Structure formats: structure tokens, C-alpha cells
Amino acid sequence: CPTAADLRPVNGTRLCAQLYADNSPYYDQCCAGEVLVVPPGTDMPYMPRGWSARASSLVVGTRCELTVWSGKAKKGKSRRFSA
């Protein structure tokens, strides 16, 4: 997986998080498959089509925090992730 400091694309724009569709019990094979990019200031009350209950790995960038909920529209239990 990339480190929190690595979440900078080629053009230099900072990313707050990346969620990955594939995971593995082997660390070097984690963070694979399709990637959902979360730019700074993003507010998504619903996951994009095809991502509900699919994210298996995530990396949160420095100076960012990612909050996720167990239900739709920010309902249910929440959990926060940071670098």
C-alpha cells in the first residue's frame, strides 16, 4: 500500500484517501484492484455505484480524516480513519 505521504498524483494535487476493491492476507498484495479516490473536502452521503460494501483496503493522507458510516445517508455507526 502507498504511505499517507504518497497520496499525491503526478500533477501534485493532494488526495485525502484512496479506497481499494481488492485485498489479500499478504501485505504486499493489498491495496489492489479498482481505486476510489477521495479528494480533500469531499462529502459523499452515498457510496458511488458499485462500491457499496466493496472497499477492503484504504489509505488516508496526511492532515486528512476519513469518516465512514455503516448505513446509507450517514446513518448507523461511524468510524474515523486518519494517517
Q: Given this model, what pLDDT does residue 81 score? A: 95
- Does some domain include residue 35? yes
In a domain, 69, yes or no: yes
pLDDT tens track for 4-46: 888 876 677 788 999 998 877 777 778 888 999 999 999 988 8
Backbone angles phi, psi at 41, to 5 degrees: 80, 5
pLDDT in the model for residue 66: 94
Q: Is the pLDDT of residue 65 over 70?
A: yes
CA-wise closest residue to 62 among 35, 41, 83: 83
The residue segments making up the domain with residue 50 are 17-82
Q: 3-state class of 27 per DSSP?
A: helix
H helical segments located in 9-74: none
Total domains present in the chain: 1
Residue 59 pLDDT class (50, 70, 90 cuts): very high
- Say if 9 falls within a structural domain: no
Q: Does residue 11 form part of some domain?
A: no
